[in-house]
Amino acid sequence: MITSPPRSSSGNGHGNPTGSGAGTGGRKAPEPTPYVDLTRAEWSALRDKTPLPLTADEVERLRGLGDVIDLDEVRDIYLPLSRLLNLYVQATSGLRGALNTFLGEKAEQRGTPFVIGVAGSVAVGKSTVARLLEALLARWPEHPRVERITTDGFLYPMEELKARGLMSRKGFPESYDRRALTRFVADVKAGKEEVSAPVYSHLIYDRVPDEKLVVRRPDILIVEGLNVLQPALPGKDGRTRVGLADYFDFSVYVDARAEDVEHWYLNRFRKLRETAFQDPSSYFRRWTQVSEEEALDYARTMWRTVNKVNLLENVAPTRGRATLVLRKGPDHKVQRLSLRKL
């Protein structure tokens, strides 16, 4: 069984032992773990001489509402990650060459997109991470064509969620068309020329009818969502099926204590109430017509009964499946990282 990286999203986990081996005053040797744990400073040093291709204005446009990120965070955390991912992409290309040598010319394999999954709670900042990776990875000459999708487009339409009694479970694994989502990523990974995905609008809180996002053979595809690391469910015949994460070449889990995420969630709700919710088309416009106290009571209830439950029951348990865990502190900055060993 794979050991999860230290500290759970519920804030009650324990770090890995750090004692040295036998013969050093009786301290126990560190327990084996499938991860290399790094401090922020240790990770930052791994960017080597990778140049920073983004400006402060670009970072400002990429960050999500309520997220706190600046050039220092990009330089310390996301530049090393872009370098690591570039090395992974190049290594995958080398493996493909080895496979082609083995198969021979008649069965030579054409390159397929490198797929990255980004998972984490509502309001933890995973969308900002995905957007930053998209911008940074597209600046590397080896893979200039980078596409990004969110799994929101694969939520069942509101009408169907209501019919299934799932409106109060929106964001839970069962509220997604998981078969369509997995098929989409499988088709991209297979190298199909064009693959389309539904488009979701946070304004209307639903899919946009007759609108599609078309992906055309990117070098890299980033798939961002709450449940992208969920294992496949057994079929009705009891047989194990291929899951979405089986198509990932690399995955990132954005982690934080649940109480910190709740604070960020409420702050984001306040800001949305002052901005996007003011739009007459907004599904949540009614929360601009009541007092702030009443609106925040609603947001707290939604966090406690929906988002926190989903985090603890479904999202956080997938953390141990990630290639890399980014662990944030209360200030939204990444403090520690856990990278899976090969």
Percent of the chain with pLDDT over 70: 89
pLDDT for residue 109: 65
pLDDT band at 25 (very low <50, low <70, confident <90, very high): low
Give the least confident one: 11-15, 278-282, 321-325, 337-341. 11-15
Nearest-5° angle of CA 129, CA 67, CA 247? 20
Closest CA to 129 of 328, 274, 313, 317: 328
Give the least confident one: 66-70, 173-177, 288-292. 66-70
Number of other residues whose CB lies within 10 A of the CB of residue 33: 17
Higher pLDDT, residue 29 or 20: 29
Instruction: Return the amino acid letter for 267.
Output: N
The fold of the 35-340 domain, in CATH, is Rossmann fold (3.40.50)
115 is in an annotated binding site: no
CB 117 within 8 A of CB 223: yes
Task: Sketch the domain layout of the chain as residue ranges.
Answer: 35-340
pLDDT for residue 238: 74
Instruction: Tell me the average pLDDT across 37-63.
Output: 88
Backbone angles phi, psi at 194, to 5 degrees: -140, 135
The C-alpha atoms of residue 317 and residue 200 are separated, in whole angstroms, by 26
* pLDDT averaged over every residue in the chain: 88
pLDDT for residue 65: 62
Higher pLDDT, residue 179 or 241: 179
Listed as own residue / partner, the contacts of 52-57 with beta carbons closer than 8 Å and 24 or more positions apart are: 52/79, 53/135, 53/136, 53/139, 54/135, 54/136
125 is in an annotated binding site: yes
CB 307 within 8 A of CB 289: no
106 is in an annotated binding site: no
Six-digit token string for 140: 């590397």
Six-digit token string for 216: 């055309």
135 is in an annotated binding site: no
123 is in an annotated binding site: yes
pLDDT band at 178 (very low <50, low <70, confident <90, very high): very high
pLDDT of 175 strictly over 90: yes
Higher pLDDT, residue 273 or 66: 273
The C-alpha atoms of residue 260 and residue 271 are separated, in whole angstroms, by 17
pLDDT (tens digit, 9 = 90+) per residue, 72-121?
999 999 999 999 999 999 999 888 888 888 888 666 667 789 999 999 99
The C-alpha atoms of residue 341 and residue 319 are separated, in whole angstroms, by 15
pTM of the complete model beyond 0.85: yes
pLDDT for residue 108: 60
Percent of the chain with pLDDT over 90: 72
CB 169 within 8 A of CB 139: no
20 is in an annotated binding site: no
pLDDT (tens digit, 9 = 90+) per residue, 268-326?
999 999 999 999 999 999 999 999 999 999 999 999 999 999 999 999 999 999 999 99
pLDDT for residue 70: 87
Six-digit token string for 103: 């198969």
127 is in an annotated binding site: yes
pLDDT for residue 24: 44
122 is in an annotated binding site: yes
Name the β-bridge partners of 340: 35
Instruction: Provide the CA 140 distance to its chain's centre, in angstroms.
Output: 21
pLDDT of 2 strictly over 50: no
Name the β-bridge partners of 121: none
